[in-house]
Amino acid sequence: MRTTHAKPDLAGLLPEQGRTALTKHFASRGQPAYRAEQVVSWLYDRLAFSFDEMSNLPKAERDALRECFDLTALETARLSRSSDGTSKHLWKLADGELIESVLIPTSTRLTLCISSQAGCAMACTFCATGWMGYQRQLSAGEIIAQYRGARAWAADNGLGEITNVVFMGMGEPLMNRKAVFAALHSLNHGYGLGARRITVSTVGVVPGILEMARMPEQYRLAVSLHAPNHELRQELIPIEKKYPLPELVEALRAFDAAGGKRITFEYVMIDGVTDSIALADELARLTREFHAFVNLIPFNPIPETEWRPSTPERLRAFAARLEARGISAFVRAPRGRDIAAACGQLKAEATHGRGPVQITSRAREKAAS
């Protein structure tokens, strides 16, 4: 396992950068031009994890590649498989940091949820990763290596091809834009995954949303809203103080106006905190203009809070109220609970909690109204 950044990492370079670097490399060694295409094919089509696998290259050329380039691959620290088919990899990075990715099969899709940072600095109060704090950014190569590792594992275990990738694992992807945007480009232009099958999930990092609005590709955006007003939202998501809702809504309008780009909203259902009918009405008013889906996510309990998921009755009533207000709401079935598949939970098992979180009484009163 190597991730030194002194050498260019073929897992992390944009496909066109990789081609150019390989073409130059082989030209400098007096090798025919087709060698670069051979390596590109090993990387993107045959998913080679090491230069030694590239068996149609002479050994001297494989050795030279190893001298000049890296090819980041991740070590599996732990693999957990849920009774519902969800599989979670805990990956160990070269410096010992741990990150997670989750494979979620349905009858028509195989979705991979990947991490963009080791830990997360956003400190959302309902999230296991938020309680662990921030360690570091992932490189583009480390992000793509999750996809490559999970894709190979899925093929070996009869799950078929990954059809969708969502950046909903550990970290806030739009706080690591350089690496995440490079990874988006590689997934789309290198590995051939359609842009509409790739979703970036954000808690509302406005500059990143505006950058995505300007991209020609129609990547999807999932906005972790979780509260429809500033007061409650800043209790759950501290970055609300930096990018308050009106600014976020403006950025979403720009994203929407770019055309063909799809927004979904994520909304965590916490009993007595986010699930009142009054909040459903506010949420409907806020999201109506985007004609977007609202995914209602039953809160996945973590040791750091005493919060509980909404009861099925409150969930149904909330969803029905949204539907009555013309909003398409979808209750996301929790997946992989027996393997702690919610963001950050597998790693969180080894960390200390900060004690139960207290929501302020003002926000609680408003939430309960």
Rounded to a whole number of angstroms, the minimum distance from the CB of residue 252 to ligand SF4 is: 17
Which residue number places its CB atom closest to ligand SF4?
A: 130
Give me the catalytic one of 120, 124, 127, 343. 343
How far apart are the C-alpha atoms of 162 and 151, rounded to whole Å? Answer: 6
155: left (phi over 0), alpha (psi -120 to 50) or beta: alpha
Rounded to a whole number of angstroms, the minimum distance from the CB of residue 65 to ligand SF4 is: 36
Please enumerate in sequence order all residues whose Cβ is within 8 A of that of 186, keeping only pairs 6 or more positions apart, or say none: 12, 14, 15, 140, 144
Which residues are at the interface with ligand SF4 (CB under 6 A)?
120, 122-124, 127, 129-130, 170-172, 203, 343
DSSP string covering 32-91 = -THHHHHHHHHHHTS--SSGGG-TTS-HHHHHHHHHH-B----EEEEEEE-TTS-EEEEE
Rounded to a whole number of angstroms, the minimum distance from the CB of residue 260 to ligand SF4 is: 26
Please enumerate in sequence order all residues whose Cβ is within 8 A of that of 261, keeping only pairs 6 or more positions apart, or say none: 212, 213, 218, 219, 220, 221, 255
* Tokens 């063909």 -> residue: 260
Q: Which of 4, 199, 207 is nearest to 94 (CA)?
A: 4
For 33, what's the count of Cα atoms within 13 Å in the CB-facing half-sphere?
1
Rounded to a whole number of angstroms, the minimum distance from the CB of residue 234 to ligand SF4 is: 13
Q: Which is nearer to ligand SF4, 71 or 346 (CB)?
A: 346
Q: Which is nearer to ligand SF4, 13 or 248 (CB)?
A: 248
Q: Which is nearer to ligand SF4, 172 or 275 (CB)?
A: 172
Cβ(311)–Cβ(270) under 8 Å? no
φ, ψ of residue 16 to 5 degrees: the values are -70, -35
Give me the catalytic one of 61, 68, 100, 313. 100
Q: Which two tokens stand for residue 285?
A: 């008013």
- Provide Rg for the chain, Cα atoms: 22
Rounded to a whole number of angstroms, the minimum distance from the CB of residue 203 to ligand SF4 is: 4
Cβ(250)–Cβ(289) under 8 Å? no
Rounded to a whole number of angstroms, the minimum distance from the CB of residue 130 to ligand SF4 is: 3
How far apart are the C-alpha atoms of 338 and 43, rounded to whole Å? Answer: 34
343 is known as an active-site residue? yes
124 is known as an active-site residue? no
What three-state secondary structure class fits 3?
coil
Q: Which is nearer to ligand SF4, 110 or 120 (CB)?
A: 120
Q: Which is nearer to ligand SF4, 120 or 315 (CB)?
A: 120
Q: Which is nearer to ligand SF4, 57 or 212 (CB)?
A: 212
Catalytic residues: 100, 343
